[in-house]
């Protein structure tokens, strides 16, 4: 009997074809979730899962998946997956690093520019019919914040943080960083997080979400940020305390924020963030270009095919499962 792979989001047909050469595919409908109780038999029957970051794979979901041999996620972040529970069972987890680095750094820098120069706010202003002749141009009209010549503090100096540094260097920014691994990169001055927050005009978050980074930028830390600073987050929502960001914008401590990710996605319509004109929001599109998404799906399929062949996944977040066999 061939192996069965549960595919939680329909991939383009040509990818399903290439996966289907190696396994029987059980593709969920768009409104079905891996955890649905009605899917228990399908969960139990599958040997592998190809999923995205919207699929939570925790101990509850794993309970009845006794045949599971691998999980391949179309994402670089794996905070939606209980990797340690899978590692304990010797199950490999694949992700899609590398291919989305530049695209995501482009998004972060776009948010930085848009937040600094009030681009989304200006767009709304015109569309709402507020740009009138009396306010055509005055020296103090729609003032933003200079990017060039200011300091960017990068929280997390992995590949995306480093790509952000390259972009910022091109804009003549001074670069500071703090990273949990202590990594040093030429041209970027590493410093304690407290110093980075107190001295940076812009702070951009690029750490993965984990138990140690959850709520890393909390209310107390936001209060220590340089007055008038701008906060950018393209990493994960749980790293930044959103209500503290909204409060700091309201009281004028922060100048603006640019956010691609949220504690809850889709971000609720009544989120205080959405009420603030200086918050630039986009719907978790950091890696969303056609060529990058194609490369991500390619990697996820390559991971799944390797696992189905009994080979190590090329991009595995818990490679220890191969050595501990």
184 counts as catalytic: no
Residue 22 designated active-site: no
Per CB under 6 A, which region of 73-81, 188-196, 241-249, 251-259 contacts ligand GLV? 73-81
Choose, by CB under 6 A, the member of 286, 306, 315, 317 that binds ligand GLV.
286
| Location of structure tokens 């905070």 | 79
213 binds ligand GLV (CB under 6 A): no
Nearer Cβ to ligand GLV (77/161):
77
Q: Please state, in angstroms and rounded to a whole number, the distance separating the CA atoms of residues 183 and 157.
A: 7
Rounded to whole angstroms, the Cα distance separating 193 from 281 reads 25
Which helix (H) or strand (E) segment is 174 a member of? strand 174-178
Nearest to 125 by CA among 100, 143, 142: 142
Query: In the window 121-150, what residues touch ligand GLV (CB under 6 A)?
Result: none
Q: How far is the CB of 288 from ligand GLV (least distance, A)?
A: 9
- Residue 254, number of CB atoms within 10 A of its CB: 26
CB 267 within 8 A of CB 275: no
Q: Which stretch binds ligand GLV (CB under 6 A): 8-16, 72-80, 196-204, 315-323?
A: 72-80
Considering 66, 264, 265, 320, which one is annotated as catalytic?
265
- The answer to whether residue 72 forms part of the interface with ligand GLV (CB under 6 A) is no
Footprint (CB under 6 A) of ligand GLV, residues 147-186: none
Other CB atoms within 10 Å distance of the CB of residue 66: 10
Cα torsion at 73, 78, 84, 90 (round to 10°)? 20
| Cβ-based nearer residue to ligand GLV, 156 or 286 | 286
284 carries an active-site annotation: yes
Among 48, 77, 238, 258, binds ligand GLV (CB under 6 A): 77
Terminal Cα-to-Cα distance of the chain (whole angstroms):
24
Distance CA 166, CA 174 (A): 11
Residue number, 165 or 296, with CB nearest to ligand GLV: 296
**Contacts with ligand GLV, 89-108, as mask; x by CB under 6 A:** -----------x--------
- ∠ Cα 119 124 128 (to 5°): 155
CB of 84 to ligand GLV, least distance (A): 18
User: Quick one: DSSP state of residue 176?
Assistant: E
In terms of CB distance, is 153 or 158 closer to ligand GLV?
A: 158
Of 301, 4, 290, 190, whose CA–CA distance to 315 is shortest?
301
For position 233 contacting ligand GLV by CB under 6 A, the verdict is no
Q: How far is the CB of 122 from ligand GLV (least distance, A)?
A: 28
Residue ranges in contact with ligand GLV by CB under 6 A: 53, 75-77, 100, 286-287
Residues designated as active site: 236, 265, 284
């Amino acid at each position: 009997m061939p192996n069965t792979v549960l595919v939680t989001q329909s991939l383009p047909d040509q990818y399903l074809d290439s996966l289907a050469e190696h396994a029987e595919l059980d593709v969920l409908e768009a409104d079905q979730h891996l955890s649905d109780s009605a899917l228990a038999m399908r969960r139990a029957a599958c040997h592998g899962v190809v999923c995205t970051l919207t699929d939570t794979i925790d101990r509850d979901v794993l309970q009845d998946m006794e045949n599971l041999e691998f999980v391949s996620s179309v994402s670089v972040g794996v905070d939606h997956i209980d990797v340690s529970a899978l590692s304990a069972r010797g199950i490999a987890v694949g992700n899609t690093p590398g291919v989305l680095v530049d695209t995501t750094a482009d998004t972060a820098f776009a948010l930085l520019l848009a937040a600094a120069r009030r681009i989304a706010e200006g767009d709304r202003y015109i569309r709402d019919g507020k740009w009138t002749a009396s306010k055509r141009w005055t020296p103090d009209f729609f003032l933003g914040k200079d990017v060039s010549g200011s300091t960017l503090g990068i929280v997390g100096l992995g590949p995306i943080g480093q790509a952000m540094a390259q972009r910022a260097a091109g804009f003549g920014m001074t670069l500071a960083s703090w990273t949990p691994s202590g990594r040093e990169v030429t041209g970027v001055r590493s410093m304690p997080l407290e110093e980075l927050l107190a001295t940076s005009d812009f702070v951009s978050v690029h750490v993965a979400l984990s138990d140690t980074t959850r709520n890393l930028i909390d209310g107390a830390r936001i209060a220590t940020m340089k007055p008038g600073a701008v906060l950018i987050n393209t990493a994960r929502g749980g790293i930044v305390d959103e209500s503290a960001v909204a409060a700091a914008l309201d009281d004028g401590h922060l100048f603006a924020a640019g956010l691609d990710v949220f504690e809850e996605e889709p971000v609720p319509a009544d989120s205080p963030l959405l009420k603030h004109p200086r918050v630039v929001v986009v719907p978790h599109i950091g890696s969303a270009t056609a060529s990058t998404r194609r490369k991500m799906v390619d990697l996820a399929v390559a991971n799944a095919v390797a696992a189905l062949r009994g080979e190590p996944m090329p991009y595995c977040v818990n490679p220890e499962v191969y050595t501990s066999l």
